[in-house]
Amino acid sequence: MQQRAFQLQNGVLLPAIGFGTYKATDGNGKQAISDALETGYRYLDTASFYGNEGEIGEAVKESGIPREELFLASKVWKTEMGYEETKAAFAKTRERLQTDYLDLYLIHWPKKAPEDENWKVCLKETWLAMEELYEEGRIRAIGVSNFLPHHLEVILEDARIKPMVNQLELHVGYLQMAAVNYCREHDILVQAWSPLGRRRVLEEPVVLSFAEKYQVTPAQFLLGFLHQEGFSVIPKASARERMISNQQIFGFTLSEEDKYFLECLPQMGWSGEHPDL
């Protein structure tokens, strides 16, 4: 099913396509952000770790686009986890983005480090801070990133507010269906980061073949497949042409046979990043 926005469990509408800003400001400052806004993106995904919240805030301010037409998302980094630390990190993020509120705020990773034996306590404290920021109206929706079921279980044990979003590495050849199915059972929207497999998957023969079949670019095919699987996508691009092209994914529909085939492909294109390793 194709839709332009997904409704979260609290009623907030999250755009189906966002612009991923990781390394987007390297070398050219805020120009890529300005280009993304000019080419139609209204959902910008960033994180304190990306080091570009300031540039994004400036680009948004200069764009003249009303704040209520934008969807701004950021994330609290591993070293910022903890109750007081999360609140301090959020305040800095909000200041850099030059906004009174965020539309979405995520915990970037479940642990400060793989060997952290105290991660469950730290995670619970971090989530409590997220809940309070949400209840104060400073964030419209809260969630997590790179969380597998056993990480989500820790939050759900005593959370007042369930995570509304889980951002995972998802693309053809790496769909993490155990985590996806768990999220769906708990009404948590799954977003796909690295939906193009950091370009590793774009030149796979099977992808090129399907793109030709559906008469779209390989990137449009990969994004369209994920969208039709029910995932929000946040692709990156540096060229304006690709920024525009990546938004044009609503004009084709995969057959059920093709979707099943793609869901069962062997692993390919994984970034190598894992929350427990």
Q: Which residues contact 200 (CB under 8 A, 6 or more apart)?
A: 268, 269
Question: 102: which DSSP letter?
Answer: B
Instruction: Calculate the alpha carbon distances from 270 to 161, 171, 199, 241 in Å.
Output: 31, 9, 11, 26
Q: What's the CA gap between 171 and 164, in Å, rounded?
A: 21
Q: Token pair 């692993």 is at which residue?
A: 267
Torsion of CA 215, 219, 223, 225, to 10 degrees: 50
Residues annotated catalytic, as ranges:
50
Q: What's the CA gap between 121 and 31, in Å, rounded?
A: 41
189: three-class secondary structure by DSSP: strand
Nearest to 188 by CA among 147, 219, 160: 147
Q: What's the CA gap between 233 and 250, in Å, rounded?
A: 13
52: three-class secondary structure by DSSP: coil
Q: What's the CA gap between 142 and 205, in Å, rounded?
A: 38
Q: Which residues contact 140 (CB under 8 A, 6 or more apart)?
A: 12, 101, 102, 103, 104, 134
Q: Token pair 């469990």 is at which residue?
A: 9
- Cross-strand bridge partners of residue 144: 107, 166
